Structure 1
C-alpha cells in the first residue's frame, strides 16, 4: 500500500526528555501529597488526645496538661504490656 515499511519511527530525545520531566513532576507531587497526609493524620491524633485530656481534666479537676501527661503514661503502659505478650 505504498510507503517504506523498513523505516522506524521513534519519539527521539525530545520524547524522552518530556517523559522524564512528567515522571519527575509526578514523583514530586506524590512526595508532597504523602507529607501533607502525614501531617493531617498526626494533627487528627493530637486533637483526639487533647479532647480526651480536656474531658479527663473536667472529670478529675486537674489541669489539662497534667491530664494529658497521665493519658500518655497510661498509653505507654498499655503498649508495653501488649509488647510483652
Structure 2
C-alpha cells in the first residue's frame, strides 16, 4: 500500500523530506521516494508496511495534520483513487 504526500515546500531538499517522513511515520514507512523536489508540484510516495487497507487511511489523516517548514502537507493512501466507489 502506498501513501502519496503532496504540497511539499519548494525550499525542502529530498533528504529533508525523507528524514521528516521517516521520523513521523516510523516503522510504517518501508520506502520513501521524493519526486520533482524544488518545484511547486513536489510529492513523495511512501510504501507503507501495513497489510490492512484502513491503516493507510489513518496514516493519511495523521499526515494531513503535519506541517513541513510551515506548510501543511496533503496526503492520500492508495485506498483512495479516482475510480468511482464500488457498490
TM-score normalised by structure 1 residue count: 0.23
Greater share of residues in strand: 2
Greater Cα radius of gyration, structure 1 or 2: 1
TM-score norm. by structure 2 comes to 0.23
Query: Which structure dedicates a bigger proportion of its chain to helix?
Result: 1
